[in-house]
Amino acid sequence: MSSTSSQVASASGEAPPHVIEDFAGLVQLLSDGTVVRRTDTNGLPVPSFPSPLPAQWKDVVYDPNHGLKLRIYRPNSSAADVDGEVPKKLPVLVFFHGGGFCVGGFDLPTTHACCLRLAGELPAVVLSAGYRLAPENRLPAAHDDARTFVSWIRTQAAMDSDPWLANWADFGRVFVTGDSSGGNMAHHIAVALGSGLLNISPAHVTGYVLFWPFFAGVERTASETEYPPGPFVTLPVYDQFCRMSLPVGATRDHPALNPFGPDSPALEAVALPPVLVVGGEHDLLRDRIVDYVSRLKAMGKPVELVEFEGQHHGFFVVEPWGDAGDELIRVVRRFVYGSTSPGCV
């Protein structure tokens, strides 16, 4: 808040605005609705990067009305070669970053490192999308932006207007993915497309990958109450992200966060392609993730859970180049290309 605002409040006899939510000094919500935000970090350690980098990238605007951008990644030609052959068009991975809907960005180093690995080592064309953050733009703003992004992909598939995508992207093999809150967004896109509420044709979604999706509910799970706090996500942080991202007055059972809440849409009739859900053994949200997979399986949906032993929420983002990250790349590669594809393990 500026000193001018303080002086005006003082002169009028009103109490100056005060902080009512403060997430790690990165985002502060004041009592008058003002938001003070740092945009240079998401609070996670800055990863190191290998040399040479495995992929190239460029930034493109996909929603000029809100100034929203995405980062397009394509592997270096050498990384995309298979058995010395000229690379064919590659599957497309849509990636929504995490951050509890309140922090993060498509262009921050942690997101960038993850997308470099996915693009260069699967290989794939990765489309990493920015979206509006809360509390300035509370849910469903992020979900609306995800739908806008899907519409942008539909246009690109129909028009071949971007040369990188025209030359490299196989829009017949689109995988919608996301990390934490981004995994939540991937779920909502799956429901919208599978219900016929959203159309991506002539592109085609072949599968979804939800990395430790950010779901919530009023009733606590055992992992939420019993697990020791992770290095970056604790129960107070989890609750704070819910308060700051949901519409004012909403509970954690809001359909934006609870896929099985009392007002959430029924999923039995939703047509889903294969879904891969990735979680960590010590994730605070582990029980919600397991329950999500169990319920979808009970409905006959083609869903698979891969749990990483000893890992916490967001382990790939925290340490993109670690051993667990190596295995995650292998898991995603198997899902995207199938176990019999060249180079798959």
Instruction: Provide the annotated active-site residues.
Output: 180, 283, 313
Query: Which of 197, 192, 209 lies closest to 92 in space, CA to CA?
Result: 209
> What does the H/E/C string look like for 153-222?
HHHHHHHCCCHHHHHHEEEEEEEEEEECHHHHHHHHHHHHHHCCCCCCCCCCEEEEEEECCCCCCCCCCH
Residue type, 338: G
Q: How many CB atoms sit inside 10 A of residue 157's CB?
A: 21
Q: How many CB atoms sit inside 10 A of residue 54's CB?
A: 19
Distance separating alpha carbons of residues 280 and 36, to the nearest angstrom: 32
Q: How many CB atoms sit inside 10 A of residue 9's CB?
A: 15
Distance separating alpha carbons of residues 6 and 8, to the nearest angstrom: 5
Q: How many CB atoms sit inside 10 A of residue 66's CB?
A: 16
Query: Which of 112, 5, 98, 3 lies closest to 53 in space, CA to CA?
Result: 112
Q: How many CB atoms sit inside 10 A of residue 100's CB?
A: 23
Q: In 122-160, which residue ranges form alpha helices assigned H by DSSP?
A: 141-159
Distance separating alpha carbons of residues 336 and 151, to the nearest angstrom: 22
Residue 9 three-state SS: helix
How does DSSP classify residue 232? Answer: S
41 CB contacts (<8 Å, ≥6 apart)? Answer: 26, 108
